[in-house]
Amino acid sequence: MTRTIIILNLVGFVFVLNACKQAGTNSPENGRKPGNSLLWKISGNGLEQPSHLYGTIHIQDKRVFGFGQTVEKILNNASIIAVEVELDKVDYRTVMEATLMKDSILEQLLLPEEFELLEEKYKQLTGVSLRTAQRVKPFFLSANIIQSIVKKDSPVPLDLYFIQTGRKNNKEVVGLESLTEQIEMIDKLSYSQQAKMLLQSLTDTIDITRMFDSMIEAYLKMDGEKLLELTTDPSIPEEFMKEILNGRNHIMVERLIPMLPKGNVFCAVGAAHLFGEEGIIGLLRKKGFTVEPVKFDFGE
């Protein structure tokens, strides 16, 4: 269940990745499949001007900012920046309150031996005791773990960079979701379910850092199939997984479509939302739009 931690960022929740040094991830010879891209042009269906869709990742690793002039030009020419949540408008106190359990502490949700095992793993990864975060919803404790091991050589995560760029250039920035909607979705998992998921994610045999490495490699190679594969985990409740991925895809498409007639929309959402039969690309095509990959390479 290490993949639970991986999934959180690809679907736009509280997830960051560890980045490893991978040489030459920007060419077909190193695994780039023809037609794969994180950048897609939306046209047709009566649109007078095209818009673009871009798959983001919530990390501060400078390599994911190496998208070059192709993406930068489209971003700068955009009239509207559409994102999952307007991160720069999220109130810190509201977030803190939303991440706390109201009537439980973590130690009550696990057997004594399970809590001790979780405490050992958590302290090993973060350097602090789990007892300092007893009231935090287990789902959000993964963010603490990730923050302790990820590379942070850019000032802000990629998705926030797009938001800040839009504000700086006086563009309209629109959230396709609200923080409240995301929190309500997470709260459909009981505290006990969240605790078991966290325990399993820290005690399975898959090395977290190695999984992060696979993730960043797949992202830089723009391998949509691999990114979707990394969101597959049978230990996560199926209905929950459908809701945070496919369910949100439908909501975001429904809210994106009214913006498209204005033209020059730059829609930046978690990369996993783009691909698959019920991904945003597929859903827009079903609505009659033409969605085509735009070629670019990281480091261009």
DSSP string, the chain: -HHHHHHHHHTTSS--------S--SSGGGTPPTT--SEEEEE-TT-SS-EEEEEE---B-GGGG--HHHHHHHHHH-SEEEESS-GGG--HHHHHHHTB-SS--GGGGS-HHHHHHHHHHHHHHHSS-GGGGTTB-HHHHHHHHHHHHS-B-SSS-HHHHHHHHHHHTT-EEEESS-HHHHHHHHTTS-HHHHHHHHHHHHHSSS-HHHHHHHHHHHHHTT-HHHHHHTT--TTS-HHHHHIIIIIHHHHHHHHHGGGGGG--EEEEEEGGGTSSTTSHHHHHHHTT-EEEE----TT-
CA 145/CA 128 separation, integer angstroms: 10
Specify the pLDDT at position 83: 96
Phi and psi at residue 267, to the nearest 5°: -100, 115
CA 225/CA 211 separation, integer angstroms: 16
Question: In terms of pLDDT, which residue wins out, 55 or 125?
Answer: 55
Specify the pLDDT at position 112: 94
Question: In terms of pLDDT, which residue wins out, 94 or 4?
Answer: 94
CA 221/CA 30 separation, integer angstroms: 8
Specify the pLDDT at position 149: 67
pLDDT higher than 90, residue 79:
yes
**How far is C-alpha 120 from the geometric centre of its chain's CA atoms?**
28
Tell me the mean pLDDT in the region 114-139: 88
Q: What is the pTM of this model?
A: 0.85
Q: Residue 180: CB partners within 8 Å, gap ≥ 6?
A: none
Tell me the mean pLDDT in the region 51-67: 92
Over the stretch 256-282, which tens digit does the pLDDT of each residue have? Answer: 999 999 999 999 999 989 998 899 999
What are the residues facing 269 on neighbouring strands?
55
Most confident of 5-9, 23-27, 32-36: 32-36
Tell me the mean pLDDT in the region 160-176: 96
What are the residues facing 152 on neighbouring strands?
60
User: Which of the four pLDDT bands, split at 50, 70 and 90, describes residue 35?
Assistant: low
Tell me the mean pLDDT in the region 27-44: 70
Specify the pLDDT at position 123: 87
User: Which of the four pLDDT bands, split at 50, 70 and 90, describes residue 204?
Assistant: low
Tell me the mean pLDDT in the region 78-86: 95
Tell me the mean pLDDT in the region 90-116: 89
Quote the mean pLDDT of the chain: 83
Element (DSSP H or E) covering residue 55 = strand 51-56
pLDDT higher than 60, residue 12:
no
Over the stretch 279-292, which tens digit does the pLDDT of each residue have? Answer: 999 999 999 999 99
